[in-house]
Structure 1
Amino acid sequence: MEKYSLKTGLREQTILKDVYFTPPFNLVEVRENKKNPLLEMMVMSSSPGILNDDFYDINIEVIDGSSLNLQTQSYQRIYISEKGTNQHMNISVGVNAYFSHVPHPVVPHKGARYTAKNTIHIKNSSTLLWAEILTCGRKHMGEGELFQFKKHHAITEIIQEEVLIFKDNLYIVPEEINLKEFGQYEEFTHQGSLFFITPETDVIERMENIAQRLSKEEGISYGISKVLDNAYVLRILGNEGEQLYKLFTQIRKEEDYLINQRLRLN
């Protein structure tokens, strides 16, 4: 079992209090401006990707009043895996705490089997930005690599004060369904989802700004829905993982900036 864990601390600004990792992982701070209250960390890996029978166990604790952005180093490749590959991620975001995570796209290779379970516990006063992007595989290797993975099953549950407020259950077995059909991927090859929640704020203005921006973007189809008064979900279909990643990262950077500004004023 490969694992890493991270716990924030507070000392005028957010610091890294506890960290633990096993090969192939390494966690490094990438906060350029050391005066920023927001702690920025990057997960690095010496492995080319998730290999057959790998099990990634990840635990993140963002304590009360702290703020964390967790980044990834590169695309997450999932190799051919007869026994399957697994990842479990458990996240806790405390009172008046902030956590943002927009990882690079997942690239399941031909023959890959992948199961992921993400469980995120937040408080009423927590702010959370969470995104995931799935590609069709190694698209530029030709038709023989498009949707040739065996299974991709990713479940994300967001639990606020012991109440499940959002669940995303992405289950794709290409052999069992024509993903080009109407109502599926159709002419697209990549999909991404982004969930955002912030306390005591109506997200309508944020949603309108995002929709206005995306309406000018070529090569995508998108939808944005209000989940709660203070929460929305954005879904995008496209044909380039880098395009979706940049769009989500732009939203994430805007929220990171706002949290830095707010914490500085406090």
Structure 2
Amino acid sequence: MDSKVCAHRRRCRRTRLKSLMEKYRLKTGLREQTILKDVFFTPPFNLVEVRENKKNPLLEVMVMSSSPGMLNDDVYDIHIDVINHSQLNLQTQSYQRIYVSKNGTKQRMQVDVGEGAYFSHVPHPMVPHAGAIYFAENTLALTKSSTLLWGEILTCGRKWMEKGEQFTFKKHHTITTIRVEGKTIFKDNLFLLPAALDITEMGQYEGFTHQGSLFFIAPEGDIKKKMDDIHDRLASEADIDFGISLIRENAYVLRVLGNSGERLFRIFDQIRKEEDENINRITKASCLQN
């Protein structure tokens, strides 16, 4: 057989194997509480239930990975299905590193949140190394009665390296689209090209090195009070800048600039824990009434 044909077939086989290695699927189920109904994952992923209080209605799942981070040509394909009246918190194990990537790395994530369902996801910060290229497309489909808490944090890179790697990645592009009953209510298009734009200047990061966004929507509850509580809490935090906006009567988006990924993660994770506890409380009370 021609050597060129053999080489082509080997490349195709490696491509097929690679595409199978970077997927996970999760679908919730309901018994007396939310359970893992259908789970599928391929290396390097593993999905593990980490719910400490087994009586809590909220299912807590951690995404674990045996990979040190995203490598050149990696494509992550993720699908989360939170069925009607179920509750899920999806956690990450550690910071997500994006290594130098000539051809780039990609992530596609589809999340469906059913009627009366709850989904929270505040992943650890992303750390793009020097030369990293990353593209992500996150699409979240909700109903009018769905509750969603969604966070994203981006660092400047390996800030404390001896030579420093602040904003030395090549490109970072993340598109997050949130739809309610098929209608887009929020779209975040983050495109950073450090070689073409000074990210530290006015109108950009303004001297800060990390940025994060947190989106929340719920069918009920006093959104303005939540916003006031968050504002009062963050107003006393040093070395950050933030803004919180009401984007519709039942939803807000919080933006934070800072100099520490751990600090931004702590801020977002605290809000996430409060909403998780709230949904546990509401669901338990509803079960007692029924």
Name the TM-score, length of structure 2 as normaliser. 0.91
What secondary structure does 1:51 align onto? Answer: coil
Q: Does 1:226 align with 2:235?
A: no
What secondary structure does 2:130 align onto? Answer: coil
* C-alpha distance after superposition, 1:191-211 (max 9, x if no partner): 000000000333000000000
CA contact under 8 A between 2:208 and 2:257: conserved in structure 1? yes
Q: Does 1:210 align with 2:230?
A: yes
How many residues matched?
A: 266
Aligned AA for 1:109? Answer: H
Aligned twin of 1:100: 120
CA contact under 8 A between 1:104 and 1:133: conserved in structure 2? yes
Which residue of 70, 78, 81 corresponds with 1:58?
78
Cα shift at 1:232: 0.2
Q: Does 1:241 align with 2:261?
A: yes
CA distance in 2, matches of 1:41, 1:51: 24
CA distance in 1, matches of 2:219, 2:143: 9
Aligned AA for 2:253? Answer: V
CA contact under 8 A between 2:158 and 2:164: conserved in structure 1? no
Name the TM-score, length of structure 1 as normaliser. 0.99
Aligned twin of 2:185: 165
CA contact under 8 A between 1:130 and 1:194: conserved in structure 2? yes
Aligned twin of 1:9: 29
Q: Aligned ranges for residues 191-202 of structure 1 at < 5 Å?
A: 191-202=211-222
Flag structure 1 segments of 5+ consecutive residues without an equivalent.
Answer: none
CA distance in 2, matches of 1:97, 1:158: 15
Q: Does 1:74 align with 2:97?
A: no
What secondary structure does 2:195 align onto? Answer: helix
What secondary structure does 1:255 align onto? Answer: helix
CA distance in 1, matches of 2:28, 2:58: 11
CA contact under 8 A between 1:68 and 1:98: conserved in structure 2? yes
Q: Which has the larger radius of gyration?
A: 2
Segments ≥4 residues shifted beyond 6 Å: none
Aligned AA for 1:203? Answer: I
Cα shift at 1:143: 5.2
CA distance in 2, matches of 1:25, 1:69: 17
Q: Which has the higher strand share?
A: 1
Flag structure 2 segments of 5+ consecutive residues without an equivalent.
Answer: 1-18
Let me know the Cα RMSD of the aligned residues: 0.7
Aligned twin of 2:7: none
CA distance in 2, matches of 1:201, 1:217: 26
1:229 to 1:202, Cα distance in 2 relative to 1, 3 A: farther
